[in-house]
Structure 1
Amino acid sequence: MAAKRGPADPERRERIMAATERLLLEHGIAGVSHRAVAREARVPLGSTTYYFATLDDLLDAATRQLSERYAHWLRSWGEKLGEVSPAGLVEALADLVEDQLNHSREELIASYELLTAAMRRPELRASALLYAEAEYAVLARHTDERTATALVQVLDGLLVQSLVATSPPSRADITVPLAALLTPHD
């Protein structure tokens, strides 16, 4: 019996995903098409449609990949945080926001663009919500469930507003709303 032949290019799917992510980060959703991804990944056009039949399939996979990478990073951040007071959590979250705005701006923009696209494309919703679910899971270990939910919403608001603002937020712009939730009587 002859051995089964494997794919001629076993890393092709990963190259397609990497190319999709590069295009998302550089050009946004408008820059992603099967043809553009195939060109960027240096694969035949048919390869992109083989792995991802529709553009939404490709965007969903990219959303999931970005969200899973963020979730892994955020879980690591939460573990390093350890036990922290509410005031300490305010400062740690402010550091997190500043770090994301300064070092992960393109990823944030792509994530929020994909989240916005999910409003009109139901097939993207589950993957788009992974971002907020990861934040909630980490924050719920440091606060109660209601506060964790509110923090996710405040963090999203802070990040989105900061991404469109003409200047970065001040430390107080970040800490005041967080402190209102975490240390309301201090």
Structure 2
Amino acid sequence: MGAKRGPADPGRRERIMAATERILLEHGIAGLSHRAVAREADVPLGSTTYYFATLDELLDAATRRLSERYARRLRTWGAELGQITRAGLVEALADLVETLLRDDRAALVLSFELSAAAMRRPELRDSALLYAETERQVLGAHTDERTARALSRVLDGLLLHSLAAATPPTRSDITGPLAALLTPDD
């Protein structure tokens, strides 16, 4: 038996959003269509266009939701650091990179895919940049604004290269660039 339908189906929009996330994480932007989302969410096709008239609206909503989830996770991570030395921050960031690569590979791939798509689709830029903005905010609590911006860019580079590499990075592959930025005199 399919999911509840009609006006007594208050969870329909949520199922559409969850289905969109699953499709994006598994198949990327190229796999996203109203038809695929309707099938995955077990709702009539018209339901997806009722809530999201265009694919860009659907993509934007899903991206924001994924970004907000990442932001909550990153803020929790940052709060748990407490007072930390720069050397300690290098190790904590290396742990974060290793955890993200191991546990959130699909979400990382999608975040970079969205960033690339935003280069040609300006309507996606705000959503795509939420990841980096959250990183800068969280890192800014543990260092100055200039260093936080640089760290965010270094993290993006580390993650992007790690995702594309045939083998996972070593610990020193990760800590080296971070230490060069945070503890250059050590």
By the TM > 0.5 criterion, same fold?
A: yes
CA distance in 1 between counterparts of 2:7 and 2:169 reads 50
1:22 counterpart residue number: 22
- Give ranges in structure 1 of 5+ residues lacking alignment: 1-5
CA distance in 1 between counterparts of 2:38 and 2:44 reads 6
1:117 counterpart residue number: 117
Task: Return 23-32 or 151-160, whichever deviates more.
Answer: 23-32
CA distance in 1 between counterparts of 2:65 and 2:120 reads 20
Structure 2 counterpart of 1:41, one-letter code: A
2:152 counterpart residue number: 152
Matches within 5 A, 1:136-175: 136-175=136-175
Q: What is the SS of the residue equivalent to 1:8? A: coil
Q: What is the SS of the residue equivalent to 1:119? A: helix
2:40 counterpart residue number: 40
Alignment RMSD: 1.0
Structure 2 counterpart of 1:182, one-letter code: L
Give the TM-score, by structure 2 length.
0.95
* C-alpha deviation, 1:7, in angstroms: 3.3
CA distance in 2 between counterparts of 1:134 and 1:10 reads 31
Structure 1 residue ranges (4+ consecutive) displaced by more than 3 angstroms after TM superposition: none
Provide Cα deviations, 1:138-163, integer angstroms capped at 9, x if missing partner. 00000000000000000000001100
CA distance in 2 between counterparts of 1:114 and 1:16 reads 19
Provide Cα deviations, 1:29-74, integer angstroms capped at 9, x if missing partner. 1111000000000001111011111111111111101100000000
CA distance in 1 between counterparts of 2:115 and 2:41 reads 24
Q: What is the SS of the residue equivalent to 2:120? A: coil
Provide Cα deviations, 1:99-144, integer angstroms capped at 9, x if missing partner. 0000110111111111211111111111111100110000000000
Corresponding pairs, count: 181
* C-alpha deviation, 1:165, in angstroms: 0.3
Structure 1 counterpart of 2:38, one-letter code: A
CA distance in 1 between counterparts of 2:143 and 2:41 reads 43
* C-alpha deviation, 1:8, in angstroms: 2.4
Percent pairwise identity: 75
CA distance in 2 between counterparts of 1:116 and 1:60 reads 14
CA distance in 1 between counterparts of 2:59 and 2:119 reads 14
1:134 counterpart residue number: 134
1:106 counterpart residue number: 106
Give the TM-score, by structure 1 length.
0.95
CA distance in 1 between counterparts of 2:117 and 2:12 reads 26
